[in-house]
Structure 1
Amino acid sequence: MEWFTAPEYGLSRIVFQRGLAALYCVAFLSAALQFRALIGERGMLPVPEYLRRTDPRRTPSLFHWRYSDRLFAAVAWSGAVLALAMAAGAGDAVPLPVSMLLWLLLWGAYLSIVNVGQTWYAFGWESLLLETGFLAVLLGNDETGPPVLVLFLLRWLLFRVEFGAGLIKLRGDRCWRDLTCLHHHHETQPMPGPLSWFFHHLPGPLHKVEVAANHVVQLGVPFLLFAPQPVATVAACLMIATQLWLVLSGNFAWLNWLTIVIAVSAVDASPLTGDRPRPDPPVWYVVLVLAVTVLVLVRSYRPVRNLLSRRQVMNRSYDPFHLVNSYGAFGTVGRVRYEIVVEGTDSPVPGPGAVWKEYGFKGKPGDPRRLPRPFAPYHLRLDWLMWFAALSPGYAEGWFGPFVERLLEGDRDTLRLLGHNPFPDAPPVYVRARLYRYRYTTWRELRETGAWWHRELVREYLPPTRLRKPAGRD
């Protein structure tokens, strides 16, 4: 069946699948290390409460059958171990049906987590990981060449990711059309990286070149993915280069890395490896790939309609299994950065004499003298939601109050999500939150003060709050 497989993409298939497995491992680790404080039985948005008001048909998850923190931890850690094994090549060491089953287990386990993750998992890259992971089930292993149809579906996915992001920019913020968005983006993006300060201070004309190049790569180059080789390989490499630029300039969890992995599947690496003959694929495998291809193309109707709509939306999933989704990023770019600074005090009265100490977060800006750290592809979910909460109190609804309550209780799982706890011996009596405006310092300010940020108090975000019955206090 020469028409069915493309053995020249054998190396690309290996790199794609093992890279995807590594990102699965990161995603499962993120879940295992953070879930207790976020969605555990005593978390800010507990899964058991969510399951009681949710229809299993709308949020398919094994946790509808039974939930406990122990079971969730077992699923997350098992997923991380299995993903690590697949990254090491386990999928190529077993028969094709077993390899497909292992990929399906990864997909099903992570789907179960995402569908109970609520606000903490409402990010476009969750759907992107699931859609990519579903296609990886059908990509085969070393027993057969990669199916042409699955390679096409991966290019169709990459097209929607890039072209959708390009269209949402042109239809959204005017600064994308006048090429000035990067005058602000590096400063106001959700999670700056260690190089973001330097990117922000690049000359204005270079920022315009960056935006123009981004438009070319996202609006023109995606069509070349469907051109003959080597044009498709060149298109994929241009996308990879753009994504690496974004990796250097920010912290977007696994969004950029996953896009790179998907783009690798379009690269023809046969000049490096040659074509190794493989036996014909089994008939059941051919039928399954054909059936899923038809399913994906039929379900692409709504994402395509969204792409063509003047009211295009970003990051929308159209089914509970996240099979075919709409993507996009930064339809608008903020001009001003706001940050919520959370503080506590031991004083029994939160008056003028109280000494307030600031909680530090692992990734988001806080201490002006602290250079942001690189965390991607690891996802700091609390830090991301704090950025959204600073944009509007509506984004903090449901979880911010429980977060403060857990700080007042000295909850260990919550404190593990933070970078610095100023109350290591006993929790504070009061906690408050204040909204600050942050901006990058200039070169001169950096030399004189050693600070990467300058901040100014805007207003009170949450007044001093205490427990009704403070734990361990009279």
Structure 2
Amino acid sequence: MTTPYQEFLPWVFPRLLGVVYLIAFGSLLVQVLGLFGANGILPISVYLTEYKQAFGRKAYRLCPTVFWLNSSDRALVGACVAGVLLSIALMVGVTPVPLLLLLWLLYLSYVSVGQEFLSYQWDTLLLEVGFMTIFLPLADPAPPLAVLAYRFLLFRFMFSSGAVKLLSGDPTWRGLTAMTYHYQTQPLPNRIAWYAHNLPLWFQKLSTLATLVLELIVPFLALTPNPPRLWGFALLFAFQLLILATGSYGFFNILTLVMLVPLLDDQFIGRYIDPPSGILDPTREMTVNIIFGIFLGLNICQLVALFYRPHWLRRMFFHLSPWMISNNYGLFAVMTTDRLEFEIEGSDDVEHWRGYDFHFKPGEPNRAPAQAAPHQPRLDWQMWFAALSPRKIEGWMGNMIVRLLEGSPTVLGLFRNNPFPEQPPKYLRLVVWRYRFTTSQERKETGNWWDRTLVARYRPITFKEENEEER
């Protein structure tokens, strides 16, 4: 039996996944010590010590990571550098199976201990796709079941993202007003998002409807023959480009674009590249079919669990969860309709305050929103989540404040500026602002991209003091 692109998929897909791994490890490399180093916000060494005390010998099974062996700053940086080098080797076609295994183990090692900063859906999606792809080069050409497993994963990922929007009961999705909020309340908007936000209401409602169609209906085309499948590829490809153009979601959109590749076939790809032919051994074919049959079964179970989750299914996914090889997905189930932002200020006398600026998070109203993707500034992202519940100061935020009071160089490296270059401030405080995009007229008059109003100031913090709000 022959299927489209059997020859091409094992050859090109691992190389494209190498690009995603390169972005993921490269982005993490420049912030790993500030986030997870000995003087970082959430030191991995401390986390593993506490985890071992809590779970004993089970800790190694529940938290699979190479950093049990060594969690020093040198090891954290070295693993990122290794990830970058292995990704480049994978991109040029060096022995893909061991490289894919090592890359998956390294990224799993970070995600397992990354806590809030490595808990995004595209982190687990990369691990799921990465684990599947370890076995793809074993099949050359790729058998039909392997192709179907990739297509079904894409279908489930996209369909789940649409289903959760309706299952949540969120009125903005059901009322087709979600996109009137999205561009200005998403974690890290860019300049194009400002223009998109100021488009007419009819366009926002139409784009909300289009989003639901693209996530709930178009994914079914991934499971059809050509030409409908190619139409699905084109529509979903354009959808991801639009998301990438109006916001910064790390490597998420690039990974999704790579996941679209199995929708193509040899006839289409053959116009541009000529992959080497392979002869599939019957024993290998049977082995690969069994492996990808299991992947397909897990994906079907995850789709069922979106609507019905019996005890045996919950238990199965619980045991698989430490390895992140089968995960649930669903982005923006409930649309954020208000944008609150934390500002961090320091002072030596509690009278004169200077602010810590972030690289990409909104700050001064006249500063244009910047494009961060494919890089993901994880502190900037996490500050957005923290501001969703401004009365609850997360534990990692307390750690960050302590590091700033200590003047930790690695944590300061996560910020755009250091307003206290001589010595750390004696006091810090959090200020909460409500942000909205300016209108076209307001920007013409003021030059500002944002309008902000003060919501609250917290009492100044020094060492050993707990945070308390002051209005």
TM-score normalised to the size of structure 1?
Answer: 0.89
Residue 348 of structure 2 contacts residue 427 of structure 2 at CA under 8 Å; is this kept in 1? yes
1:263-314 CA-partner distances (Å, limit 9, x unpaired): 1221125245268773422345324312322322343354123222499x9x
Match of 1:67 in 2: 71
1:209-260 CA-partner distances (Å, limit 9, x unpaired): 1111111111111111111122212212211111111111111111122111
| Separation in structure 1 between the aligned mates of residue 11 and residue 203 of structure 2, nearest angstrom | 37
Q: What displacement does 1:64 show?
A: 2.1
1:171 aligns with 2:171: no
| Separation in structure 2 between the aligned mates of residue 58 and residue 233 of structure 1, nearest angstrom | 41
Q: What displacement does 1:11 show?
A: 4.6
Letter of the structure 2 residue corresponding to residue 278 of structure 1? S
Q: Structure 1 residues 14, 217: CA separation in 2 closer, same or farther (over 3 Å shift)?
A: farther
Match of 1:190 in 2: 187
Match of 2:288 in 1: 289
Match of 1:333 among 335, 350, 356: 335
| Separation in structure 2 between the aligned mates of residue 101 and residue 149 of structure 1, nearest angstrom | 22
Bigger helix share:
2
Letter of the structure 2 residue corresponding to residue 295 of structure 1? I
| Separation in structure 1 between the aligned mates of residue 202 and residue 453 of structure 2, nearest angstrom | 29
Match of 1:32 in 2: 29
Residue 12 of structure 1 contacts residue 266 of structure 1 at CA under 8 Å; is this kept in 2? no
Please give the residue correspondences for 1:59-458 in structure 2 after superposition, counting only pairs within 5 Å: 59-87=63-91, 89-91=92-94, 98-140=95-137, 144-172=140-168, 173-271=170-268, 273=270, 278-300=277-299, 302-309=301-308, 318-347=320-349, 350=350, 354-393=351-390, 396-458=393-455
Residue 135 of structure 1 contacts residue 150 of structure 1 at CA under 8 Å; is this kept in 2? no
1:412-438 CA-partner distances (Å, limit 9, x unpaired): 101111112222222222111111100
Residue 342 of structure 2 contacts residue 432 of structure 2 at CA under 8 Å; is this kept in 1? yes
| Separation in structure 1 between the aligned mates of residue 402 and residue 278 of structure 2, nearest angstrom | 61
Q: What displacement does 1:36 show?
A: 1.4
Q: Structure 1 residues 260, 188: CA separation in 2 closer, same or farther (over 3 Å shift)?
A: same
- Of residues 27-36 and 105-114 in structure 1, the stretch that sits farther from structure 2 once superposed is 27-36
Q: What displacement does 1:466 show?
A: 2.0
Greater relative contact order structure (CA < 8 Å, 6+ sep): 2
| Separation in structure 2 between the aligned mates of residue 239 and residue 367 of structure 1, nearest angstrom | 35
Residue 9 of structure 2 contacts residue 142 of structure 2 at CA under 8 Å; is this kept in 1? no
Q: Structure 1 residues 115, 26: CA separation in 2 closer, same or farther (over 3 Å shift)?
A: same
Task: Please give the secondary structure, in 1, of the residue aligned with 2:460.
Answer: strand
Match of 2:40 among 43, 58, 71: 43
1:12-65 CA-partner distances (Å, limit 9, x unpaired): 655533332111111112222212121222322221222224311111111223
1:126-177 CA-partner distances (Å, limit 9, x unpaired): 1100111112222228x92233222211111111111001101112211111
| Separation in structure 1 between the aligned mates of residue 283 and residue 102 of structure 2, nearest angstrom | 20
Q: Structure 1 residues 235, 15: CA separation in 2 closer, same or farther (over 3 Å shift)?
A: same
| Separation in structure 2 between the aligned mates of residue 437 and residue 18 of structure 1, nearest angstrom | 44
Q: What displacement does 1:183 show?
A: 0.7
Match of 2:469 in 1: none
Q: Structure 1 residues 245, 310: CA separation in 2 closer, same or farther (over 3 Å shift)?
A: farther
Letter of the structure 2 residue corresponding to residue 43 of structure 1? G
Task: Please give the secondary structure, in 1, of the residue aligned with 2:323.
Answer: coil
Residue 7 of structure 1 contacts residue 276 of structure 1 at CA under 8 Å; is this kept in 2? no
Letter of the structure 2 residue corresponding to residue 328 of structure 1? G
Residue 345 of structure 1 contacts residue 357 of structure 1 at CA under 8 Å; is this kept in 2? yes
Runs of 5+ in structure 1 lacking a partner? 92-97, 470-474
- Of residues 338-347 and 40-49 in structure 1, the stretch that sits farther from structure 2 once superposed is 40-49
Q: Structure 1 residues 52, 288: CA separation in 2 closer, same or farther (over 3 Å shift)?
A: farther
| Separation in structure 2 between the aligned mates of residue 221 and residue 300 of structure 1, nearest angstrom | 18
Residue 171 of structure 1 contacts residue 310 of structure 1 at CA under 8 Å; is this kept in 2? no
| Separation in structure 1 between the aligned mates of residue 452 and residue 369 of structure 2, nearest angstrom | 15
Match of 1:95 in 2: none
| Separation in structure 1 between the aligned mates of residue 65 and residue 426 of structure 2, nearest angstrom | 40
Residue 155 of structure 1 contacts residue 226 of structure 1 at CA under 8 Å; is this kept in 2? yes
Task: Please give the secondary structure, in 2, of the residue aligned with 1:74.
Answer: helix
Task: Please give the secondary structure, in 2, of the residue aligned with 1:420.
Answer: coil
Residue 183 of structure 2 contacts residue 194 of structure 2 at CA under 8 Å; is this kept in 1? yes
- Of residues 413-422 and 43-52 in structure 1, the stretch that sits farther from structure 2 once superposed is 43-52
Letter of the structure 2 residue corresponding to residue 56 of structure 1? Y
| Separation in structure 2 between the aligned mates of residue 228 and residue 468 of structure 1, nearest angstrom | 64
Runs of 5+ in structure 2 lacking a partner? 52-58, 466-471
Task: Please give the secondary structure, in 2, of the residue aligned with 1:241.
Answer: helix
Q: Structure 1 residues 378, 147: CA separation in 2 closer, same or farther (over 3 Å shift)?
A: farther
Q: Structure 1 residues 119, 200: CA separation in 2 closer, same or farther (over 3 Å shift)?
A: same
Residue 23 of structure 1 contacts residue 377 of structure 1 at CA under 8 Å; is this kept in 2? no
| Separation in structure 2 between the aligned mates of residue 393 and residue 47 of structure 1, nearest angstrom | 26
Identity of aligned residues (%): 37
Size of the aligned set, in residue pairs, is: 449
